[in-house]
Chains A and B, each alone.
Chain A
């Protein structure tokens, strides 16, 4: 996740202050991120990890990870995040086509990812070309 954040460029107004990562439905991941980013920022910005339990809580954030097994669980959060320049990351099958910017999938035993570059552009995000090359699937 941090690697994706490092390889993405946000609009100018997102390049100051805290780099906010919102985590939904995965407390373990939130804790790991907090630990990992304690001494290491993203793109020279200090990282703040936020946990949301309801879509009503969603505020401006750089990255939003939404854990969940169905599109129904993910969409309310994604919809709110669409109001901001947010990189939405998921790991749910079938959501890459319209909801998620980056979706982790298990291929064999390996974790790979799919990308929706169209959605990323819509979100005002510029992504490194090298990420596209390594993606399992790219929606343009």
Chain B
């Protein structure tokens, strides 16, 4: 108790200018300027808990910057990504408090940068085969991009992301690197169909979906056990036919969009052959040979 009194006396008697210097937000700025980001973070976190500082947009903008800079030093770790989330929340809070619009441009520009990093993380995760986080990052990217521009059209991005996702899953499927091929196949089909729904003229999605169905059929035939009873062989044949029939409209669409592509002609010839329509299979085979100058 004896010590408390002098301290209180000291606080109450310090000049206003010095009190401002002791304001955690000001101290955070000082730490930030001297590139001590950890110290700046500690101080700005104290500042936002202060009733007055925490009610100022400026404090939150500054917090956004500090957390963003810490994230930029460590972009790939979970800890670094947590800092990014904090930065985003800080900018959002700043925008709520910034009734005069003084910091709107700065906040929006930072959020644009951070949303781009979300998209890059989504792409990086897909590339590395981490599909669940990839989708989560992509959804976060969209949420943030939509926050900045509520009318933003995601069609192009969705097509790009889903196509890449489907193609990565297809690679796994073809290499038989899965314990559950049926579920993986369903996922691939769903993604390509979603792409086609977004853009029915996407040649690659139409072609890839057709090839996926076709390859499934061929895979079944190649692995067919001829010791099976006739009844089962017929059932397998029916299953394979359904796959070839599923493939056909998508390959025809791909052909319609790019009639001069040899892969599509080859695909059509193969699908019709599988469907036992030899006449049409030969028709496309001849077109292919003509195209290749044979």
A residues in contact (CB < 8 Å) with B: 2-3, 7, 36, 40, 106, 108-111, 130-131, 134
How far is the CB of A102 from the nearest CB of chain B, in Å? 12
Complex Cα gap A109–B234 (Å): 12
Residues of B in contact with A, size category: 10 to 19
7 A-B pairs within 8 Å (CB atoms) are namely A3-B226, A40-B226, A106-B276, A111-B237, A130-B230, A131-B230, A134-B230
Our count of residue pairs bridging A and B at CB distance below 8 angstroms stands at 28
B230-A3 in contact (CB<8A): yes
B226 — which chain A residues lie within 8 A by C-beta? Answer: 2-3, 36, 40
Least Cβ–Cβ distance between B252 and chain A, in angstroms = 15
Q: Using known A-B contacts A36-B226, A110-B276, determine if residue A134 contacts B234 with beta carbons closer than 8 Å.
A: yes
Docked-complex contact A109 and B277, CB < 8 angstroms: yes
Could you tell me the distance in whole angstroms from the C-beta of A19 to the nearest C-beta in chain B?
A: 14
Chain B residue nearest in CB terms to A131? B230
**Residue on A with the closest CB to B231?**
A134
Q: Are A109 and B231 in contact (CB under 8 A)?
A: no
Contact A110 B238 (CB under 8 A): yes
Distance in angstroms from B226 CB to nearest chain A CB is 5
For the complex of A and B, the 3 pairs showing the least CB-CB separation, nearest first, are: A106-B276, A109-B275, A109-B241
- Judging by beta carbons under 8 Å apart, are B231 and A110 in contact? no
Contacts of B116 in A (CB 8 A): none
Nearest chain B residue, comparing its CB with the CB of A37:
B226
For the residues of B in contact with A, the DSSP-based class is: helix
CA distance A109 to B245 in the complex (A): 9
B244 at the binding interface (Cβ < 8 Å): yes
The CA-CA distance from A3 to B275 in the complex, in Å, is 21
Residues from chain A with Cβ under 8 Å of B230 in the complex: 3, 7, 130-131, 134
Knowing A36-B226, A109-B244, A109-B245, the reply to whether A3 touches B233 (Cβ < 8 A) is yes
Further 5 A-B residue pairs, CB within 8 A, beyond A110-B241, A131-B230:
A3-B230, A3-B233, A40-B226, A106-B276, A111-B276
Of A3, A36, A130, A131, most buried by chain B (CB within 10 Å of CB) is A3
CB distance from B170 to the nearest CB of A (A): 25
A31 to B231, CA, bound (A): 26
A111–B230 Cα gap in the complex (Å)? 12
Residue in B closest to A128 when the chains form the complex, CB atoms: B230
Set of chain B residues within 8 Å of A130, measured between Cβ atoms: 229-230
Q: Give the distance to chain B from A50, nearest Cβ to Cβ, in Å.
A: 20
Q: Is the CB of B233 within 8 A of A110?
A: no
- Smallest Cβ distance from B278 to chain A, in angstroms? 8
B236-277 vs A: 1/0 string, CB under 8 Å? 011001001100000000000000000000000000000111
- Nearest CB in chain A to that of B245: its residue: A109
Interface centre among B226, B229, B233, B275 (most CB of A within 10 A): B226
